């Protein structure tokens, strides 16, 4: 098994129990066209308008209950034609990895162009105990690389690209119809507000913090209603979303980030 999938599938359920690093929103149809699926510790987000659904991220490789989850939100994934990836990590892009079952077989995929360096192995994803570890995810080559900020119009849905490098080199946020901000893994948000995502999982924490300052300025004059994160669930959009972005979130058994998050997100 590829190393980061081994970490994802076998190590995380053991080592992350009690660490309280996440509080994903349960699978469901929420409000204003937003719905989500929870896969263990992570959320996939959906936005539906006038019969068109756009997806954000794809979850883990071969998630066992995925058909049940789609049924819960009354979504036929074969009818999703546009999937935007925040980044290429195993828990966000695993659902369309070429080695597994593609959960969105008919979708066009959009991803920050720089994420390609992980697939070509030009860049490692992380260094742990002195070892450089590659991201093992490979997606089909016909994805649309997003080179810079801009706007995609999908039917009546407006998807604005907001590049936020740091967590990974090509990490990207999306602002959907000006109301829903999808932040992937640049932000962690708890009852005290938003922090820069955990250093443990972040490739370049300082760059991530700079990206968050830029993001804060870029969206300051918008009427955003919700922020949808990778691992902290959905929150109303208030100034507190950016309250602590000069500080990295920390987690741990003695230092829970989400005090009321699941004890073992892979079981609970
Ligand atoms: Zn993640």
**Sequence-separated (6 or more) residues with CB below 8 Å from residue 250:** 198, 199, 257
Burial class (CB in 10 A: 0-12, 13-18, 19+), 117: middle
pLDDT in tens, 169-187: 999 999 999 999 999 999 9
187-190 and 150-154 beta bridge pairing: unpaired
What's residue 119's pLDDT?
96
What's residue 14's pLDDT?
81
150-154 and 131-133 beta bridge pairing: unpaired
User: What is the whole-number distance in angstroms between the Cα of residue 88 and the centre of ligand 1?
Assistant: 9
The answer, yes or no, to whether residue 209 has pLDDT greater than 90, is yes
Q: The tokens of 128 are what? A: 């742990």
What's residue 5's pLDDT?
83
Residue 229 CA to residue 227 CA, distance in Å, equals 6
User: What is the whole-number distance in angstroms between the Cα of residue 138 and the centre of ligand 1?
Assistant: 16
pLDDT in tens, 117-137: 999 999 999 988 888 999 999
CA distances from 228 to 59, 171, 187, 217 (A): 14, 15, 10, 18
**Sequence-separated (6 or more) residues with CB below 8 Å from residue 198:** 21, 188, 248, 249, 250, 251, 257
The answer, yes or no, to whether residue 97 has pLDDT greater than 70, is yes
* DSSP letter assigned to residue 130: T
What's residue 37's pLDDT?
98
User: What is the whole-number distance in angstroms between the Cα of residue 92 and the centre of ligand 1?
Assistant: 6
User: What is the whole-number distance in angstroms between the Cα of residue 37 and the centre of ligand 1?
Assistant: 14
User: What is the whole-number distance in angstroms between the Cα of residue 184 and the centre of ligand 1?
Assistant: 7
User: What is the whole-number distance in angstroms between the Cα of residue 23 and the centre of ligand 1?
Assistant: 12
CATH fit for domain 20-248, picks 2.60.40.1180, 3.30.70.360, 3.60.15.10, 3.90.1150.10: 3.60.15.10
The answer, yes or no, to whether residue 223 has pLDDT greater than 80, is yes
Tell me the sheet residues that pair with 126.
133
Cα 250–chain centre separation: 18
Which of 239, 237, 240 lies closest to 225, judged by CA? Answer: 237
What's residue 87's pLDDT?
98
pLDDT in tens, 26-56: 999 999 999 999 999 999 999 999 999 999 9
| Enclosing H/E stretch for 15 | helix 12-15
User: What is the whole-number distance in angstroms between the Cα of residue 203 and the centre of ligand 1?
Assistant: 12
| Enclosing H/E stretch for 206 | helix 205-219
Residue 216 CA to residue 243 CA, distance in Å, equals 10
For the chain, give me the number of helices (H) and strands (E)?
6, 18
What's residue 9's pLDDT?
81
pLDDT in tens, 242-267: 999 999 999 988 889 999 999 999 98
Tell me the sheet residues that pair with 12.
none
User: What is the whole-number distance in angstroms between the Cα of residue 36 and the centre of ligand 1?
Assistant: 15
Q: The tokens of 228 are what? A: 């949808």
Q: Return the domain boundaries, the chain.
A: 20-248
Question: Residue 36, Cβ neighbours under 10 Å: how many?
Answer: 22
Residue written as token pair 């149809």: 29
The answer, yes or no, to whether residue 13 has pLDDT greater than 70, is yes
What's residue 1's pLDDT?
65
User: What is the whole-number distance in angstroms between the Cα of residue 42 and the centre of ligand 1?
Assistant: 6
What's residue 130's pLDDT?
86
User: What is the whole-number distance in angstroms between the Cα of residue 12 and the centre of ligand 1?
Assistant: 12
User: What is the whole-number distance in angstroms between the Cα of residue 90 and the centre of ligand 1?
Assistant: 8
Question: With DSSP H G I counted as helix, E B as strand and the rest as coil, what are the percentages for the chain, rounded to 5?
Answer: 20, 30, 50
User: What is the whole-number distance in angstroms between the Cα of residue 60 and the centre of ligand 1?
Assistant: 10
Percentage of the chain lying above the pLDDT 70 cut: 100
The answer, yes or no, to whether residue 8 has pLDDT greater than 90, is no
Q: What is the mean pLDDT of residues 222-240?
A: 97
Strand, helix or coil for residue 108: strand
């Amino acid at each position: 098994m590829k190393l980061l999938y081994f970490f994802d599938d076998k190590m995380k359920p053991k080592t992350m129990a009690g660490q309280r690093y996440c509080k994903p929103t349960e699978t469901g149809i929420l409000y204003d066209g937003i719905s989500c699926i929870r896969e263990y510790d992570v959320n996939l987000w959906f936005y539906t308008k006038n019969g068109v659904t756009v997806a954000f991220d794809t979850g883990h490789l071969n998630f066992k209950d995925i058909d049940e989850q789609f049924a819960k939100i009354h979504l036929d994934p074969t009818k999703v034609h546009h999937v935007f990836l925040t980044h290429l990590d195993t828990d966000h892009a695993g659902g369309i990895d070429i080695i597994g079952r593609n959960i969105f077989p008919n979708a066009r995929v959009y991803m920050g162009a720089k994420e390609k360096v992980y697939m070509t192995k030009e860049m490692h994803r992380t260094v742990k105990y002195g070892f450089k570890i590659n991201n093992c995810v490979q997606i089909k080559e016909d994805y649309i690389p997003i080179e810079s900020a801009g706007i995609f119009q999908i039917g009546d849905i407006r998807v604005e690209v907001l590049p936020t490098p740091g967590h990974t080199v090509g990490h990207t946020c999306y602002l959907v119809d000006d109301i829903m901000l999808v932040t992937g893994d640049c932000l962690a948000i708890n009852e005290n507000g938003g922090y820069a995502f955990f250093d443990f999982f972040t490739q370049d924490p300082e760059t991530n913090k700079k990206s968050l300052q830029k993001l804060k300025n870029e969206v300051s004059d918008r009427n955003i209603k919700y922020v949808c994160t990778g691992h902290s669930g959905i929150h109303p959009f208030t100034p507190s979303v950016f309250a602590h972005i000069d500080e990295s979130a920390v987690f741990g058994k003695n230092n829970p980030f989400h005090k009321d998050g699941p004890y073992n997100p892979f079981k609970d």
